[in-house]
Amino acid sequence: MTFTHPITDIISKANGKINVLRGLAGTTWGQQKETLTYIYKQFIRTTIGYAQTGWFTTTSHTNRERLQRVQNTALRVITGCTRTTPIHHLHAETKIIPISDHLDMMGMQYFSRAEDPQHPNNYLHNLPPPPPPRQMKCIPAEYYIKKLNELPPLPQNTSKQSHIYTNSKQSIRKTKTRLATTRESPRYTPRRGPSSSPH
């Protein structure tokens, strides 16, 4: 399954909410970038990621790109940047990671919580070995447990949830390094006030 039809519905709902976000934004009178970012995270990204542990792992690459384009639109509204602005600039300015990385992080955090014997879905960590592969995609439990096993060793005095979050934010750190050398690019043209201007 590629979940094309459900994702089409998700995109339709998210785009409707982005129109609300546009109503709160403006080049001179709109809400601050930080406020719009918070609204996106709480109001729109939650729509994109609803129940993602059940469908994201088997979603096709094309549909993941469709979800990313929805996020790109929202980030342009937040920052006031034009369509020609590089995507990595949008992520760096808003401190929002790519949608696939975010959904991966949420799934990993959920399955790490399920390691608790008292968690109602703890049984997912004790499933029998899967049958010989007949499909290219794996079930969610297999996918996320594999991702958890690929994490670097857990540092002392650090919760697993925080460790997952920190590793998921690596893409933003790498972007900031590139951004330092391309900040003056003529393609980077934010239109918002002081809160979104280059620092």
pLDDT 10s digits, 89-120: 999 999 999 999 999 999 999 988 888 888 88
Question: Which residue type is seen at 88?
Answer: H
Q: Determine, yes or no, domain membership for 99.
A: yes
* Residue 178 φ then ψ, to 5°: -70, -35
Q: Determine, yes or no, domain membership for 77.
A: yes
How many domains does the chain fold into?
1
Q: Determine, yes or no, domain membership for 109.
A: yes
At residue 29, the pLDDT reads 72
Contact between residue 79 and residue 196 where contact means Cβ atoms under 8 Å apart = yes
Q: Determine, yes or no, domain membership for 63.
A: yes
pTM here?
0.76
Q: Structural domain of residue 122, as residue ranges?
A: 4-180
Question: Which residue type is seen at 144?
Answer: Y
Q: Determine, yes or no, domain membership for 76.
A: yes
Q: By C-alpha distance, which of 189, 180, 175 is closest to 81?
A: 189
At residue 181, the pLDDT reads 53
Q: Determine, yes or no, domain membership for 43.
A: yes
Q: What percent of the chain has pLDDT over 70?
A: 79
Q: Determine, yes or no, domain membership for 29.
A: yes
Which position has the higher pLDDT, 158 or 47? 47
Q: Determine, yes or no, domain membership for 35.
A: yes
In angstroms, the CA 139 to CA 178 distance is 35
Count of Cβ atoms closer than 10 Å to residue 148 Cβ: 18
